[in-house]
Amino acid sequence: MRGGADFAAALAAHRRFSPNGRPHIVCPQCRAPILLFENLSEQVKGEIADLRRKSRVLAMKALMRAAGCDLAQAKANVLHLRNEESRCHWCGFGVPAGALLSSQCMSVNIDW
Ligand SMILES: [Zn+2]
Ligand SMILES: [Zn+2]
């Protein structure tokens, strides 16, 4: 599959630019590095997003346990999860499904 090989090459190139081999993006709005946690399952990501609606601290702890990251990284990621109804965590403007940045404030909004 030609498309598959292209994707693998793109992924390899991307990883080379990732510090410590961990793919991340830097939020244009607040400059925090946001890890993509590609190794976490969709189920775990969904659970963390659910927890965040109840308590950010619980969501941070769950992410630290699941991903083995430190508190600072867990905090940065949990803060950048989009709100209910796909609204930007920072400005409240709607963020389309699949989009990573708020078009209003340029904050990263993770879709978990
Ligand atoms: Zn940010
Ligand atoms: Zn925003």
Q: How far is the CA of 101 from the centre of ligand 1 (A)?
A: 9
Q: How far is the CA of 31 from the centre of ligand 1 (A)?
A: 6
Q: How far is the CA of 55 from the centre of ligand 2 (A)?
A: 21
Ligand showing the shortest atom-to-Cα distance for residue 30: 1
Condensed to tens digits (0 to 9), the pLDDT of residues 1-44 reads 445 556 666 555 544 445 566 788 999 999 999 999 988 999 99
Q: How far is the CA of 11 from the centre of ligand 1 (A)?
A: 24
- pTM score, whole prediction: 0.79
pLDDT of residue 16: 46
Beta-strand (E) ranges in the chain?
Answer: 24-26, 33-35
